[in-house]
Amino acid sequence: MNWKIPRIGTWGGISLLIVALSSPPTLAKEAPSPPWQQLRAVGQGEMSWLWFKLYDATLYSQSGRYEPGNYPQALTLTYARDIERSDLLTATAEEWQRLDLGSDVDRQRWIGQLAVLWPDVGAGDRLTFYVDEAGVGHFWWHDQPLGTLADPQFSAAFLAIWLADNSRDPTLTRRLRGQL
């Protein structure tokens, strides 16, 4: 098929430009501002496995200090490499099992909810978990809302992966808590 593009003369092009510029702008719906931007950084650190950097992590709180169970709090993970969603879910489930957090039923339900929310991640991707004053957890992907899990028990269990005394990486835990 031969497509012919009509030629617009100089005055026609200028007329189109004037019409475009004189039309009222369409207002784009503003995305909500990420709520943790009102919080203060508590600490930050890096998670590595063997010699591979997995992500950078930063913990935020209202006071700028780590106070367990005192919300709002936020944890931001900025990934350094590609990780499939299934691997993230497996690692999360294994940590909850290892830390003995929640019942088997809770863990299965939580993993099912996360499977619906989480994407695969790549280098530079940023996932933030924000826990509001009521203990409700909200996931954000690159500063855009991703989804909410309204179970305060989930929020505490998710943060415990990084903040529990017996976490997998005690050095990272101390850094996030602002103790190093």
| Topology annotation, domain 32-176 | Chalcone isomerase (3.50.70)
- Cα separation of 40 and 57, whole Å? 14
| Kind plus residue range of the DSSP H or E element containing 168 | none
As a whole number, mean pLDDT of residues 73-99 equals 97
Cβ contact 139:128 at 8 Å: yes
Dump the DSSP string for 102-136: S-HHHHHHHHHHHHHHPPPB-TT-EEEEEE-TTS-
> What SS3 class is residue 46?
strand
The predicted pLDDT at position 144 comes to 93
pLDDT, tens digit, 9 for 90 and up, residues 106-143: 999 999 999 999 999 999 999 999 999 999 999 999 99
